[in-house]
Amino acid sequence: MVSIIRSSEESAVKILTVDDSKSVRHMIGMTVELLGYEVLEAENGLEGLMVLEQNVGDVAMILLDWNMPEMDGLAFLKKIKADDRFKDIPVTMVTTETERVKMIEAIKCGAKTYVAKPFSQEMLVAKISECLGMGF
């Protein structure tokens, strides 16, 4: 299910959340909207690629789960970092994968930051602000 959630304005900054959990996408979406950004959603990596294709040049950041069906987060990350159109989009991994080796692998593949589930709204706001270069 690919969907665009409640846009506050046409020129809003767009943040893509790719996660197979509807409840996690909802929590992330609420936080993103509180910050005044537009939320784009995808249930897995394949849908995430479709959303990116439909929004080339418009997605400012990606919040990405690791464990998903069809295409997992690491495969998605590798694919977008190999594509000149998407390679500069900052990615934050938002996942239950907390093994140090996995975190290092994601960072080496191009993730900018990492958030372990469960996470607080404050932590998510800090990571979004960091990725968008706004400090916090």
**How much is the pLDDT for 11?**
52
pLDDT tens digits, 36-62: 899 999 999 999 999 999 998 999 999
Give the pLDDT mean for 22-26.
Answer: 93
pLDDT tens digits, 106-133: 999 999 998 888 888 999 999 998 888 7
CATH class of 3-131: alpha beta
Which has the closest alpha carbon to 94: 69, 124, 71, 72? 124
User: What does 112-135 look like in DSSP terms, one character per residue?
Assistant: -EEEESS--HHHHHHHHHHHTT--
Average pLDDT, the chain: 88
**How much is the pLDDT for 118?**
87
Which has the closest alpha carbon to 17: 35, 38, 39, 34? 39
